[in-house]
Structure 1
Amino acid sequence: MHLELGFVVDSIKGKLLAGNEKTIVNGVEIDSRRVKPGYLFFAFKGESSDGHDFLEDAWKNGAAAVIVSRGDCLTKAGPGKSLILVNDTLDALQDLAAAYRRSFNIPVVAVTGSVGKTSTKDILALCLQSRFKTLKTSGNYNNEIGLPLTLLQLDKTHQVAVLEMAMRGQGELLQLATIAQPSSALISNVEKVHLETLGSLENIARAKAEVMATLGAGDFALINGDSPLLEEAVRPYAAKKYRFGYSKSCDFRIEETIIKNQGIEIRLICLGQSEKLFLPLPSRRWAMNAVAAAAMAFLLGVPLEEIKSSLLNFNPGSKRLEIIPLPDGGKIINDTYNANPLSMINALETSRELQEKGKLVAVLGDMLELGDYEQEGHREVGHHAVKNQVDLLICIGERAAWMAEAARAAGMAGEQVRHFLSKEESIGFLKQSLNSSDTILFKASRGMQLESLAEEIYSEVGRRKA
C-alpha cells in the first residue's frame, strides 16, 4: 500500500482536522498495539474498550494518521500528528477498502457457504498459487471488519484475491460483495447453520446467493449443483453459472470417491472429460470442498495437472480433521474447529472408516446457532452415532443431552452413552475408559473449545499401551 492521505480523506468522506494531505500511508490497523510507522489507525469502539482512548499509543508507534468519530479527539492531536474525523469508523474502513479495491484490475473470488468455506478457500488459494501471486483471507477475517482489512493488504504484485465471506443474516453478503466487487463467486453449500437468525433453509439460500448481486453478465459463479434451494435462489442473477457436485447436470461431476492411502481419490467428469484427483485427507466430506476449489481454479486458468499437484500438498491445519496417531494403532481425530449437524455426521462416518482396532469413541459437544433446529439437530447426530456403530458416546454440554437421549432411544446400551455438562466433569471418566488402540473423535462448536480436552486426553492416552 502506498496512498496519499488526501485519497483516504476523499474515499471515506472525512474531514482532515490535523495533518497534511500529502502524507503517505502504507498500512491499516485497528489495534493500536500493532500499529507500525506509516499506518492508519481506525479507532473502533468495542464492547469493552474504545480505540479513541489509545490514540497516543497509535501515534507513539508511528501512525501516519488516526481516524476517529469523536470531535473532542482533536485536542489530542499535537504538532506533526494527523487526525481525520468521520461519522462512523467502521463505515470509513469499508469505504476505504472499496475505493482501494477499485484500483486493482485483477480477478477477485468470493467464497461462501454454510459448511466448509474456510477449507474450500484454502484449497483454492493453494491451487491458484501454483500460477498466480495470490492474496487470501487469513484466519477468520471474513466479516464486515476482516474483509476490508484483507482487501487493504492488496499490493501491485497480486494477480488474484480469494476472499472468504461469512454471514449470519440477510443482507450481510450483499454488503461484503458491494465492498469487494468480486468478479466470480463460489457457493459451496446451503445447510442448517444460522437458522436462529434466518429461520429457514430457503432464507439461508437466498442470503448466500446475495454474494452474486454485484457480478456482471461477463462474470461467473460456481455453485453447488446438488441443492435445488440454491438453484432457485441464484436464478435472478445474471452472471454465468457453473455447477459442481454429484448430480448429472453438474459441469464438474463427482462420479466416485474412494478412501485409500490415507487420502481420498475423487473420480470426476470435468466439463465432459474424465479426471482423477487425490486429496491427502481420508474424508469423503472433503471431496466436495476439493472439487469446488479445483473447478474454480480451472475456470480461472490453472491447468488441471498443476491443480492435481497442488492438492497433493494440501494440509487442512490444526483442529480440522487433525489425525494424531496413538501407540497401539489407535488415533485421536481432532475436528474441533467448528460443528453443525452435517459436519458432525460426516465426522462420525469418517471416524468409522478410519477405525482399525479398539473402540470407536465419539466425544461430541454442543452445536451452537441452530435456532429452532437445535433439538432436532442434536438428536439427529445421536441417531447417526448409533448408525455408525460408535462403541462409546460421550456428550458434553447442555444441548448435547439431546444427543445422548436420541442415541439411547435408537438402541445404544446405557453404559455406552455418557452425558456431562462440562469438559472438566468428563476428564476422569475419559481417562479411565480409553486406551491407545481406540479411535477417538473430538468435535463441537468453536465456542465449546473442545480442543483443550483432546490435548489433555492425548497427553494421558498417548503414553498408554493397550
Structure 2
Amino acid sequence: MSYTLERIASLVGAHLWGSETVEVRWILTDSRSLCFPEDTLFFALESRRNDGHRYIPELYRRGVRSFVVSRLPEDMTSCPDANFLQVVSPLKALQRLAERHREAFDIPVVGITGSNGKTVVKEWLYQLLSPEKNVTRSPRSYNSQIGVPLSVWNLDERSEVGLFEAGISEPGEMEALQSVIQPTIGVFTCLGDAHQENFTSYEQKCLEKLKLFKDAKVLVYDMDDTRVAGCVNRSAFKGEYFAWSRQRRDVPLYIASVEKREAETVVSYIYKGKEAACSIPFIDEASLANSVSCLAVCLHLGMSPETIAARMAVLEPVAMRLEVKEGRSGCTLINDSYNSDYNSLDIALDFMNRRPDCAGRKRTLILSDIEQAGGAPEDLYGRVARLVAMRGVEKFIGVGPCLSAVQGLFGMEACFYRSTDELLGSGVLDTLHDEVILIKGARSFRFDVLTEHLALKVHETTLEVNLNAVVDNLNYYRSFMKPETKMVCMVKASAYGAGAVEIAKTLQDHQVDYLAVAVADEGVDLRKAGITANIMIMNPEMSSFPTLFEYDLEPEVYSFRLLEALIHEAEKEGVTHFPIHVKLDTGMHRLGFDPEKDMPLLVERLKRQSAVIPRSVFSHFVGSDSDDFDAFSARQYELFLKGSAQLQQAYSHKILRHICNSAGIEHFPDRHLEMVRLGLGLYGINSRNNEILHNISTLKTTILQIHEVPKEDTVGYSRKGRLTRDSRIAALPIGYADGLDRKLGCGRAYCLVNGRRAPYVGNICMDVCMIDVTDIDCREGDTAIIFGDDLPVTVLSDAVGTIPYEILTGVSARVKRVYYQD
C-alpha cells in the first residue's frame, strides 16, 4: 500500500515542506537498510546516543527524497528536491502512522506478549494458519517501540490475519504498542524474570503487559499461573476470557491429560463439551504451554480439531536466529534455512549486506519457493526479483517448481532447480568460491542439507555466540552513561574467546567509539576484516610500529623507553600527529607513568615533537568490583585527576580521560569522565551482580559413545575414574586441547545433558572426556552443554579456583565459533 505525503502529514499532524503528491511505500529508520530509495520515507529517530538527522545528507545522495524530522536541515539548498514532514517526535509520528494504518484493516489481529515464548507462539501460529490464510506477522523478534510499528506497516490488501509481538522492558511502554497493534485476540504466554529489575514487583510487570489487551475481544492465558490469572482479573480487559487449564474443568479449554512419549507429547482436551486430542513433536514444558496457547487461538478462529491435530503434529522448531558459518572454498554462509517469506527475506538480505566481509565479494542467494496462501505467483515473485536486484544479489539459485516457472523475472546470473535433491545433484554448489552465500528456504525444502554440504567440516565441539546478547549487555552498561560519554570495548584475546572479528563487527554496527586489543596483529586482523572503527593497542611491541602506522592502530604508551622508540620510528616514517593513549599507574603497579613524578618530563617531551599526540589518558581501578576497596579507588581517582590535568593543560585539544572498567561503570557513575572501558561485562560476566547480564556464549559438544561400565571397573588414565555403582559412561569429543581445564575432572565439575547434571569421570584427556549419565535419559548424538545459559561459566571457574576470563579465553581456536542473532 502507498500513501501520499499529504495524507501522511494529515494522519500524524506534520507540517509538510515539499510536494503533497509524492507517494511512499517503504518506511526506513536505519540508513543501512535502504532498498527502494524513491519510494521510501525516512524517520529521523533520536536516541540518547544517536540522531537520525545525521544521515539525511547521505540518504539524499542515495536517492531518498522524503523525510520525517523534528528539525529542518540548516542548509535546505543542499537537498533542493527533498520533502520534509516536521513533527515534534519522529518516533511518535512513526507509531501514529502505523496506528492509523492498522485501523484500515478489519481482520483478526493476534497480539502476543509475556516474558518468554512470544516468538515461538507467533511462528507456530503462522505455521498453523498460513496454509489457508495470508498471514502478516512480526519479522523475527520485532517487538519494540520501533519494531512494532515497522511490523504493522507490513499489513496490506492481501492480509487476512495479523500476528504481532509486543515486548516491554519498563513501565509506560505498552500503551504505545497497544495503540499500534490494536489486537482483537490477545495471548499472554507466561510471566518470568526478564526485565524484572525495572519493575517493583511481578504483579506490576504483569499488569503493564496486560495493557496490550485492554480493547481486545478475547484473551488467551494459562489459568494455572495464579499470578497471571490474578492480574487478568484486575486488568482493564473487558472481553471474553479464553483461559486454559490442566487443573480446572470450568474453563473454555480444559487439558484433560498430557502424555509424554519418546519424541512427542499427546494432549487430550475438552472444548465446548467435546473431547479431542492432538500431538506435538516436543516433550518440554515450555513447548507444551506454547502449543496450548496456539491451540486456543486456532479453536477460537474456528479451525476444526482434525485440522489442528494434523498441523500440530508437524510443527517445526522455531529458529529465531541467523547463523553465520565458515564455508568451503573461502565462502561465508548465512544460514536462514527455516522459513521463507518476503519480509524475512528482506531482513536476511539486509543482514548479509551489512557485513563488512561482503564488500568486494560476490553475493549469492539460494532461495526456495515461498510458501504462503493467496496471490498470483507472478506478482509475488516479481516483488522478490525486484528486491533481490535492489539488494545487490549477483548470483541467484532458485529451488522449487514455482520459482522454476518464473525464472524469466530474474535478470542476474541465475539457475533454477525443481527440488533440493536436483540442486545437490547438479554440482553447482561445488563451483561456489569466495562468495557470501545466503541460504533462505521453507522447511519443507530441507535446506539444512545444503548448509551441511557447503559448510567447512569442523570439530563437533562448537562455541555458539549470541550477538543479540552482546548488544543487550552493551546497552545495559550504556544505560549508566551520559549520552556524550564515549566507550572503549575490549576485544582482546579474540574477544575473550568469542571471536574478535564478529564481535567487533557487531560493536561497530552499534557505534562504539573505540575497540581495544592487546597486540598489533589482533588489530591488523580486524582491519583486514573490514573494521573501520578506532582501534587501541594496549600492549604495543616496538617491532610493530610500522604496522601501527600502516593500519591506523593507536598504541598505548606507558614508558619513556616506549615513547622514545615510537617517536623515533614515526619521524623516520614521516608520520605526524599520530594518536597515542597515555597510561598512568595510579596503584595497579603493572604498567604506566607515575602521575606525580613523571608528568613534568612527559609533558615536556611530548611538546618537543610533532610525531605523536595524546588522544586519551587513562588508568585502571584496582578494585572497583568490591566495596572493600572504595577508599583506595577514591585515592586512585584523585591521583589520576591530578596527573591527567597536567597533561591536558599542555594542549588545546580535548584529551579523553578514562579510568572506569565494567564494574566501575556501574559502581562509580560520577567517575565516568569522557570515556569508559567495557570488558568482561560485555561478555556476560558481572562481578557485582551476575543476574542482570545475558550469557553470550554456549560451549557445546555431542555424545560420541555410551558404555555400560560395571562398578568394579575404572574410567580413564591412571584409573582415576572410580565408580561406586554400575554406570553409563558417555565420551565427549572435548578435552584440554579444546580448553576444558584438566582440573575439572574426577567429579570436580559437571556438564549438562538434556538439562541434567552429568559429572566428569576420571581425568580430562587431550581430546576427549568422560561423563556419568547413569541417571540421564540420553543417547549417542545428544548434546552436552559445557557452559551456557543454564550452566554459567562462573560454575567452572569456581570449581577450579580461577576467574571466568581464564575459562573464556582458554577455549581453543580449533573449537568452531558459530554466530547467531535473533
Question: Quick check: TM above 0.5?
Answer: yes
Q: 1:430 to 1:146 in 2, by over 3 A?
A: farther
Q: Using the alignment, how far apart are the partners of 2:295 and 2:61 within structure 1? A: 46
Deviation, 1:70, is 1.9
Query: Are the counterparts in 1 of residues 57 and 79 from structure 2 also a CA contact under 8 Å?
Result: no
Report the counterpart of residue 233 of structure 1 in structure 2. 231
Within 1, Cα distance between the matches of 2:179 and 2:310?
A: 34
How far apart in 2 are the matches of 1:199 and 1:44?
Answer: 30
Q: Indicate the structure whose relative CO is greater, using CA pairs within 8 Å and at least 6 residues apart.
A: 1
Distance 1:7 1:171 in 2: 29
Q: Give 1:176 shift.
A: 0.8
Conserved in 2, the CA contact under 8 Å of 1:127 and 1:294?
no
Cα distance in 2 between the residues matched to 1:5 and 1:119: 37
What CA distance in whole angstroms lies between the structure 1 residues aligned with 2:461 and 2:263?
Answer: 13
Q: Which amino acid aligns with 1:440?
A: A
Q: Which consecutive residues of structure 1, in runs of 5 or more, have no partner in the other structure?
A: 340-364, 379-388, 393-412, 419-427, 461-466
Matches within 5 A, 1:359-438: 374=691, 415-417=748-750, 432-433=768-769
SS of match in other structure, 2:163: strand
- Aligned residue number for residue 784 of structure 2: 440
Counterpart CA distance in 2 for 1:455 and 1:281 is 34
State the AA in 1 paired with 2:9: V
Picking from 218, 242, 247, the partner of 1:220 is 218
What does residue 361 of structure 1 align with?
none
Q: Secondary structure at the match of 2:106?
A: coil
Q: Report if the CA contact (8 A) 1:107-1:183 is conserved.
A: yes
- Look up the equivalent residue of 1:221 and give its one-letter code: L
Match in the other structure for 2:59: 58
Q: Any gaps of 5 or more consecutive residues in structure 2?
A: 323-337, 339-447, 453-459, 470-680, 696-726, 731-745, 752-763, 772-779, 794-808, 818-822
- Rate the CA distance shift 1:276–1:10 in 2: closer, same or farther, 3 A: same
Letter in 2 for 1:433: C
Taking a change above 3 Å as real, the CA distance of residues 177 and 33 of structure 1, as seen in their structure-2 partners, is same
Aligned CA distance change for structure 1 residues 438 and 105 (closer, same or farther; 3 Å):
closer
Letter of the 1:69 counterpart: S
Corresponding residue of 1:79: 80
Judge conservation of contact 1:23–1:64 (CA < 8 Å) in 2: no
Instruction: Compute the TM-score of the two structures, normalised by the length of structure 2.
Output: 0.42
Aligned to 1:27: 26
Aligned residue for 1:72, secondary structure, equals coil
Task: Note if contact 2:16-2:86 (Cα within 8 Å) is conserved in structure 1.
Answer: yes
- Partner in structure 2 of residue 464 of structure 1: none
User: How far apart in 1 are the matches of 2:121 and 2:685?
Assistant: 22
Native 8 Å contact 1:127 1:302 kept in 2? no
Q: How far off is 1:303 after superposition? A: 2.5
Deviation (angstroms), 1:439: 3.8
Q: In structure 2, the residue corresponding to 1:247 is in which secondary structure?
A: coil
* C-alpha separation in 1, matches of 2:201 and 2:689: 9
Superposed, 1:11-22 pairs within 5 Å as 11-17=11-17, 19-22=18-21
The AA in structure 1 aligned to 2:297 is M
* CA displacement at 1:114 relative to structure 2: 1.4
Distance 2:811 2:256 in 1: 35
Residue range with higher mean Cα deviation, 197-206 or 110-119: 197-206
Over 3 Å counting, the alpha-carbon distance change for 1:140 and 1:390 in structure 2 is farther
Name the SS of the counterpart of 2:748 in structure 1: helix
What CA distance in whole angstroms lies between the structure 1 residues aligned with 2:68 and 2:182? 24
Name the CA shift for 1:107/1:391 in 2 (closer, same or farther; >3 Å).
farther
Asked whether the equivalents of residues 110 and 163 of structure 2 are also in contact (C-alpha less than 8 Å), the reply is yes
Partner of 1:356: none
* Closer, same or farther: CA 55–429 of 1 in aligned 2, 3 Å: farther
Residue 103 of structure 1 is matched in structure 2 by 104
Give the letter aligned to residue 126 of structure 1: Q
Q: CA deviation at 1:24?
A: 0.7
In structure 2, relative to structure 1, the CA distance for the partners of 1:102 and 1:57 (3 Å cut) is same
For the Cα contact (< 8 Å) 1:29–1:39, is it kept in 2?
yes
State whether structure 2 residue 466 is matched by structure 1 residue 133: no
Segment drifting more, 144-153 vs 297-306:
297-306
State whether residues 72 and 84 of structure 2, in contact with CA within 8 Å, keep that contact through their aligned partners in structure 1: no
Q: Which amino acid aligns with 1:91?
A: K
Larger displacement relative to structure 2 (82-91 or 248-257): 248-257
- Contact 2:152/2:180 (CA < 8 Å) preserved in 1? no
Find the aligned partners of 1:73 and 1:429 in 2 and give their Cα distance: 67
Which 10-residue stretch deviates more, 117-126 or 192-201?
192-201
* Structure 1 Cα separation of the partners of residues 183 and 318 of structure 2: 25
Measured after TM superposition, the shift of residue 430 of structure 1 is 10
Q: Is the 8 A contact 1:335 1:443 kept in 2?
A: no
Contact 1:112/1:186 (8 A) holds in 2? yes
Which stretch shows the higher mean deviation, 181-190 or 294-303? 294-303
Compute the displacement of 1:455 (Å): 12
Q: Pick which of 195-204 and 262-271 moved more.
A: 262-271
* CA distance, structure 2, for counterparts of residue 2 and residue 143 of structure 1: 24
2:43 alignment partner AA: F
Tell me the CA shift for residue 258 of structure 1: 3.1
In the alignment, is the contact (CA less than 8 A) between 2:223 and 2:245 conserved in 1? yes
Q: Aligned pair in 2 of structure 1 residues 220, 55: CA closer, same or farther (>3 Å)?
A: same
Q: Deviations over 1:218-238 (max 9, x none)?
A: x11111111222222222421
Aligned to 1:398: none
Task: Measure how far apart 1:54 and its partner are.
Answer: 1.5
Q: For 1:46 and 1:454, how far apart are their aligned partners in 2? A: 37
Q: Deviations over 1:335-380 (max 9, x none)?
A: 97999xxxxxxxxxxxxxxxxxxxxxxxxx99999x99949xx9xx
Query: Using a 3 Å threshold, how does the CA distance of structure 1 residues 334 and 178 change in structure 2: closer, same or farther?
Result: same
Distance in 2, Cα, partners of 1:429 & 1:212: 56
Tell me if the contact between 1:6 and 1:21 (Cα under 8 Å) persists in the aligned partners. yes
Distance in 1, matches of 2:766 and 2:207, equals 43
Q: Distance in 2 between matches of 1:99 and 1:78?
A: 29
Q: Residue 176 of structure 1: SS of its match in structure 2?
A: helix
Alpha-carbon displacement from aligned partner over 1:72-123 (angstroms, at most 9, x marks no partner):
3562563322111111111111111111111111111110111211111111
Partner of 1:3: 3
Residue 243 of structure 1 aligns to a residue whose secondary structure is strand
Q: Structure 2 vs 1, CA of residues 85 and 335 (structure 1 numbering), >3 Å: closer, same or farther?
A: closer
Match of 1:124 in 2: 125
For 2:21, what is the secondary structure of its paired residue? coil
Is residue 2:167 matched to residue 1:166?
A: yes
Q: Residue 246 of structure 1 aligns with which residue?
A: 246
Shift of residue 284, structure 1, vs aligned partner? 3.1
Query: Residue 25 of structure 1 contacts residue 64 of structure 1 at CA under 8 Å; is this kept in 2?
Result: no
Code of the residue aligned with 2:749 in structure 1: it is Q
The corresponding residue for 1:317 is 319
1:28 aligned partner, one-letter code: I
CA shift in 2, pair 1:47/1:429, >3 Å:
farther
Q: Does the 8 Å CA contact 2:98/2:150 hold for their aligned counterparts? A: yes
Task: Give the conservation status (yes or no) of the 8 Å contact 1:107–1:160.
Answer: yes
Query: 1:92 corresponds to which letter in structure 2?
Result: A
Q: How far 1:46 sits from its partner (Å)?
A: 3.9
TM-superposition CA deviations, 1:136-187 (whole Å, max 9, x none): 1112210110000001111110011011111112232232112221111111
Q: CA deviation at 1:309?
A: 2.8
State the distance in 2 between where 1:259 and 1:244 align.
19
Post-superposition Cα deviations, 1:275-323, rounded to whole Å, max 9, x if no partner, equal 2222223323201100101211221232333322332142321679x99
CA deviation string 1:36-74 (max 9, x = no partner): 120101112345543212113323343241111122356
Hey, what's the Cα distance between the residues in 2 that align with 1:167 and 1:444? 22
Aligned partners of 2:279, 2:462: CA distance in 1, in Å?
23
Distance 1:286 1:69, change over 3 A: same
Bigger-Rg structure (1/2): 2
1:230 to 1:22, Cα distance in 2 relative to 1, 3 A? same
Partner Cα separation in structure 2 for residue 74 and residue 231 of structure 1: 57
